[in-house]
Homo-oligomer: A and B are copies of this chain.
């Protein structure tokens, strides 16, 4: 058993034993029903060794973790032109704040708050039909995860579409400033659906691996993105990946990471490994409670913080 596998199992064991699990998201029934006692962890290093434990094979709703992948896709399509529609500074605000949009003329602060991710989705859509754009996103996820079983949970997508008034407000607001090109309903439809992608920890860690290895696809070795772009996506994850809890995550965990309201977090140890953790209970800031604690333990024990051994 490798050191990594041992640490992963220890942490899974410790997390299972903890009484503090956070609270599952309740705004849609599909997330509210998830068993809060679950915990999964998967680490894939740059040589392809997998260390996994707990509920690492149970699919969950990746929600905002999908924003890492849509950002990658949109940069592939639009290149640096994307940065005219969305900034790359921490917002200092909650994930769904609209205040910053008003003060900055409809340009969202970064691609990982909801408004920014909607603008990114609009760039991917770019004149196509929602169905085509969504197909492209799912194919990209399957390609990165090297697994054809990645799919969209339609019930989750439908629930979000029914209740997503705040995201509709953000999208309409950006549309008013001309930041969105496509019909608001098209862009929102694609956004709600890619947030509803279901994956397990193994798949998610695999899908993020290119960010840990200079942009290279884990299986084919081909370039998914150039090395500089991989570094830059990691930088945006570090500064903006946890909304107004980004500073805290950097302070405690010390890795680029992106969380989702489904309880998943993808974290990247550049040059070392891609890590996916899942624990459905959330903390007050809407990030996975045990997920963050597990990652803090992992980076400490393995000495993986990007801020020093």
CB under 8 Å from chain B, chain A span 109-128: 109-110
A217 to chain B, nearest CB (A): 15
Most buried by B among A89, A228, A244, A308: A308
Contact A231 B305, CB 8 Å, known A92-B93, A246-B90 = yes
Q: A173 to B172: give the CA distance in the assembly, Å.
A: 10
Render A161-173 as a binary contact track against B, CB cut-off 8 A, 1 for contact: 0000110111111
Partner of A239 from B110, B239, B309 at Cβ < 8 Å? B239
> A91's contact among B88, B92, B101, B184, by CB below 8 Å, is which?
B92
Are A110 and B247 in touch, CB under 8 angstroms? yes
User: Does any Cβ of B come within 8 Å of A245's Cβ?
Assistant: yes
Given contacts A214-B308, A230-B308, A306-B307, contact A88 B166 (CB under 8 A): no
Within 8 Å CB of A168, what residues of B? 168-169, 172, 184
Closest approach, in angstroms, between the C-beta of A62 and any C-beta of chain B?
A: 22
Please measure, in the bound complex, the distance between the C-alpha atom of A244 and the C-alpha atom of B89, giving whole angstroms: 7
What is the oligomeric copy number? Answer: 4
**Helix, strand, loop or mixed for chain A's interface?**
helix
Residues of chain A having any CB pair with chain B under 8 Å: 87-93, 97-103, 109-110, 165-166, 168-173, 175-176, 184, 211-212, 214, 227-228, 230-232, 234-236, 238-240, 244-248, 250-251, 254, 256, 270-271, 300, 305-309
Q: List 25 A-B contacts (CB under 8 A).
A: A88-B247, A88-B251, A89-B90, A90-B90, A90-B247, A99-B99, A165-B175, A169-B170, A169-B172, A169-B176, A211-B308, A212-B308, A227-B309, A230-B307, A232-B251, A234-B307, A235-B247, A235-B307, A236-B251, A239-B250, A239-B251, A270-B307, A270-B308, A270-B309, A306-B306
Besides A165-B172, A172-B172, 5 other A-B contacts (C-beta < 8 A): A110-B247, A166-B172, A232-B307, A234-B307, A235-B247
